[in-house]
Amino acid sequence: MMILTRVSLRHCKSLAAVRARALHVGQSVSDVRTFSAKEVKDFVQLTGDSNPIHTEEPSAQATGFGAPLLPGILVASLFPAIIGSRFPGTVYASQTLSFRNPALVGQTVKATVTVRRVNGRWVTFKTVAVLQNTGQIIVDGDALALLPGNDTKTSFEVS
C-alpha cells in the first residue's frame, strides 16, 4: 500500500504528470510492509547474515526480545525500492542510516521517502521507517539519487 503525504498531491489518484523535474521539497511517498518469517529466512540465506536473532526465537529471547528481529538492512531496503519504483533508471548514489529501534518479524513497517533537496537531476531524500502501529522510528537517514534524464519517463506516483 502506497501513501502520498503531500497535501497538494494527496487528491491525485495518478501522479504521472509529476515529472522528476517537477519534484518539490516536502513531497513524500510511503510503502507499508509486513515481512514474514520466510522472507527473513530468504534474506538471511541470500546475504549470509547468520545471526540467529533474526530466525530463532530462543536467541531473540536471550537478548531480551520476544521474537526474532527484522534485519535492519532488510527494513532499509525499502528506501531504494520506493525511489527506484517511481523513477526507473535512477542511480542510487548514497544512503546514510541510523538504526534507532528494533522491529520484530511480523510487525508492520511504514517506510517513507521525502524530498529534501532538488539540484537538477540530483535529489536528496529523507528516509525513515517506523512501526506502523506506534510510529516508533526503526531506521532513518538520507539518500542521494541521480534521476534519469528528462527524456526518460519518470513519475512520483502512487501505485
Q: Convert the pLDDT of each residue in 67-94 to its tens digit.
A: 999 999 999 999 999 999 988 889 999 9
Q: Longest Cα pair distance anywhere in the chain, in angstroms?
A: 54
Q: What is the pLDDT of residue 137?
A: 99
State percent of the chain over pLDDT 70: 81
* Grid cell digits, residue 63: 537478548
| pLDDT of 9 above 90 | no
In the chain, what percentage of residues exceed pLDDT 90? 73
| pLDDT, tens digit, 9 for 90 and up, residues 33-45 | 999 999 999 999 9
Residues in Cβ contact with 18 at an 8 Å cutoff, skipping those fewer than 6 apart: 9, 12, 27, 155, 156, 157
144: cell is: 542521494
pLDDT in tens, 112-148: 999 999 999 999 999 999 999 999 999 999 999 999 8
Q: Is residue 81 helix, strand or coil?
A: helix
pLDDT at 18 over 70: no
pTM, full prediction: 0.81
Asked whether the predicted pLDDT for residue 101 surpasses 90, the reply is yes
Per-residue model confidence (pLDDT) at position 17: 32
Domain 2-36+69-146: which CATH number of 3.10.129.10, 2.20.28.120, 3.90.550.10, 1.10.287.3510? 3.10.129.10
Which DSSP state fits 20?
G
User: Domain boundaries in the chain?
Assistant: 2-36+69-146
Tell me which residue has cell 510503502.
31
With beta carbons less than 8 A apart as the criterion, state whether 115 and 26 touch.
Answer: yes
Q: How does the average pLDDT of the chain come out, rounded?
A: 85
- 3-state class of 82 per DSSP? helix
DSSP secondary-structure letter at 103? -
